Amino acid sequence: MKKKILVVDDEPDFLKLIEVRLEANNYEVATASNGKAGLEAISSYKPDAVLLDILMPEMDGLEVLKEIRKNNKNLPVFMITVFSTDDEFDQKRFKLAKSMGATGFIFKTRDLDSEIKNVTTLLEVIDKNNTTIGA
pLDDT tens by residue, 103-126: 988 888 667 778 888 788 877 777
**Mean pLDDT calculated for residue range 34-61:** 93
Question: pLDDT value at position 132?
Answer: 44
Asked if pLDDT for residue 135 goes beyond 50, the answer is no
Does any domain span residue 46? Answer: yes
Task: Residue 47: give its domain's CATH number.
Answer: 3.40.50.2300
118 within domain boundaries: yes
* 24 within domain boundaries: yes
Sheet with 77-81, edge to edge strand ranges: 28-32, 4-8, 49-53, 77-81, 104-107
Residue 134 lies in a domain: no
**135 assigned to some structural domain:** no
Domain total of the chain: 1
pLDDT value for 111: 78
Of 1-10, 50-59, 60-69, 108-117, where does mean pLDDT reach its minimum?
A: 108-117
> What integer best gives the mean pLDDT of the chain?
86
CA distance 110 to 128: 27
Structure confidence at residue 1 (pLDDT): 80
Residue 32 included in any domain:
yes
Domain that holds residue 68: 4-129
75-100 per-position pLDDT tens digit: 999 999 876 656 565 678 888 899 99
104 domain-assigned = yes
> Is position 75 within any domain?
yes
What confidence score (pLDDT) does residue 134 get? 45
- Provide the 3-class DSSP secondary structure of residue 51: strand
Instruction: Give 111: exposed, middle or buried? Use CB within 10 Å, 0-12, 13-18, 19+.
Output: exposed
Q: Which pLDDT does position 110 carry in this prediction?
A: 67
